[in-house]
Amino acid sequence: MPKPFLLIKIILLLGLPSVSALGYAEQSHNDKADAIFKLLDSGTIEQNATTQAYLEELDSLIPTTDIQRQLRLTRARCWAFNVFEEGQVSKGLAFAQQALNNPNLANYPNDKLDLELCEAWLTEQEGDVDLALSGYNKVIAQAYALEDLRLVADARGMRGYLHSYQGNFTQGLEDLLTSRSLYQSLDLSAWARTSLYEIATIYRRLGDQKSAIRYFKQLQKSYIESDNLDGANAITVAIAIAEEELGNLDRAKRLFEQGYHYWKNNNRDLEQATVAVNIAGTLIKLGEFEQASQYLDEAEPFILPTDEAFYSFLHLFRAQLYLGDGLLPQTHKSIAYARTAFSRVKNLRGLAQLQLVESQAFVQQARWKQAYYALSEYVKLHNELDAKLLSSYTTEMRTRFNANQIEEENRHLIENQQLKELELAMLEQNKLQQWIIIVLGSFLMLIISIFAYKQIQKNRLLSALALTDDLTQLPNRRYIYAKAQSRFEEAQRTQQPLSVILFDADYFKLINDKHGHEVGDQALVLLAQTCRNLLSHKHQAARVGGEEFLILLADTDMAQAYKIAQALVQKVSESNFSAFPQGFTMTISAGVASLRAEDSKLSQLLKRADDALYQAKSQGRNQAKVS
């Protein structure tokens, strides 16, 4: 059964992914243009005609001399091609390829990368999924290098959808979890809902229909609350598919009909046709063949070969009906159409169903050799699908377990950013949970061991991908150490000075014990803000531990670094603590170290800073010391 991913494609079609930070435009035209870009970027526009009207308005607002906004407009046009209209995919690809030849893109790598992502997505719509997947992989790698979180979220969301549709559930779930958490951190709720839809769909494909329905209903409620009735209706169809796979055919039929009549009453022919294909599959299982054929007849004029998901299943269902009527030549013709579409997107589930129908057709024709071959291919595909499902069980267990924990401990944050925090902090937070699972599930020791190993692997990956400390919004340990290594090597090569300051809060444990962890978190945020206020743009601070911070000072000698450290110590001690509990005070101790000629490793520099910090602590705290 094809999934109702039409809504997802509409959102992807109309949105403007991966917008870089806006400048402060002084002219009213620039302000208006930027407001339109922001609206397009939100993913909340539902009509292609509205998008085109906005693009025309932008064309009149942006002068040709404004290169940055002109490039942004080019990106918007690339994503605005309606892939559901015949010929638009090829036009979109030609547009993207021409746009990528713009010489101005050499100075705007983020714009160039977004156009490459658009090109990869259009390539997927054209049916070349291998080339599209290669494009997604390239964009994701470069987006991380550019530290463009929006591009990372967009590209991983698209790649996750493709992996999911192909049956690569583990990879798909990893991409979509990351995509959703990034969208939440960027306050892009519409796109976060899109990722949640695909996560629920993966549960459905894994066979956990009850979990899928729970997530779908959660998503449907969100659409209704935001008055997005189109989105809510698309979820109704998704729930119907899950109900069908649970064997609740009558309930699935009622839900499909509800979705079908909604699109019909709103004169949405294409959407109506996609639901008609779904209904036909349910009716075939119910034995209502004549009505199923009527729905397929109605849908066929609107389902193009470029929309492989519905086109493939339309002809699969046609083949089943022809087979039931004994029309074997027509059966094989429909099988050929369906196989071409399934093969282009590598949908193993659909190909397996198709092989079974083909083997039955050959049996009716007494073509035993062909029937045996078709049945053998069916078994082969089923075994391949089973292997993929088995490799996905640990990911499914982990995700379900984390979702249950969120519901129990942080129900009021489920719709906000808890999933992001949980994924990024999983390595530290789930140690106790792993032991609980082991104790409660000792009879599943082997499975749990595999789960723990896979979990550690994935958390290491997520830790490496995280760019920012969630509490303080400063760079995290992994980021600053990589940056420090780069600065260290550059300073050695150019003979330029390099210094570091390592500092932490004095008696921080007492702060937590006396005032609570919430006040402790507030104190850490204050330290981060003090760093931002004090440091220049060429210096960078990061949180590297619980209450420990590292400041990287490029082109700064020991005297200058010590002066900065002293100023930081004074600023913290003189901070305004009026927002804290009465009597609250806080000081810091800092250690300063500078690069020496004999230093061969970054660790030597950091060790001296740490030794200086220890000296500051041992000599009374609230001071800075040099190594």
Buried b (16+ CB within 10 A) or exposed e, 563-573: ebbeebbbebe
The two structure tokens encoding residue 5: 């991913």
Measured between alpha carbons, how far apart are the two ends of the chain, in Å? Answer: 68
Nearest to 258 by CA among 4, 10, 72, 541: 4
Nearest to 237 by CA among 278, 192, 288, 284: 278
Report the distance separating Cα 296 and Cα 398, nearest Å: 40
Q: Sort 548 into a burial class: Cβ within 10 Å, 0-12 / 13-18 / 19+.
A: middle
- Backbone φ, ψ for residue 577 (5° rounding): -100, 20
Helix (H, G, I), strand (E, B) or coil at 149: helix
Buried b (16+ CB within 10 A) or exposed e, 123-147: bbbbbbbeebbebbeebbebbbeee
Query: For 105, which DSSP code?
Result: G
Residue 82's identity, in one-letter code, is N
Query: Could you tell me if 616 and 562 are in contact, meaning their C-beta atoms sit under 8 angstroms apart?
Result: no
Report the distance separating Cα 35 and Cα 23, nearest Å: 12
Report the distance separating Cα 192 and Cα 213, nearest Å: 18
Q: Is 547 a catalytic residue?
A: yes
The two structure tokens encoding residue 365: 């024709």
Q: Which residues, at least 6 apart from 206, have a Cβ–Cβ distance to it below 8 Å? A: 169, 389, 392, 396
Helix (H, G, I), strand (E, B) or coil at 119: helix
Q: Which residues, at least 6 apart from 190, have a Cβ–Cβ distance to it below 8 Å? A: 11, 15, 42, 43, 44
Nearest to 96 by CA among 135, 59, 129: 135
Given 547, 548, 574, 598, the catalytic residue: 547
Helix (H, G, I), strand (E, B) or coil at 108: coil
Question: Where in the sequence numbering do the catalytic residues fall?
Answer: 547
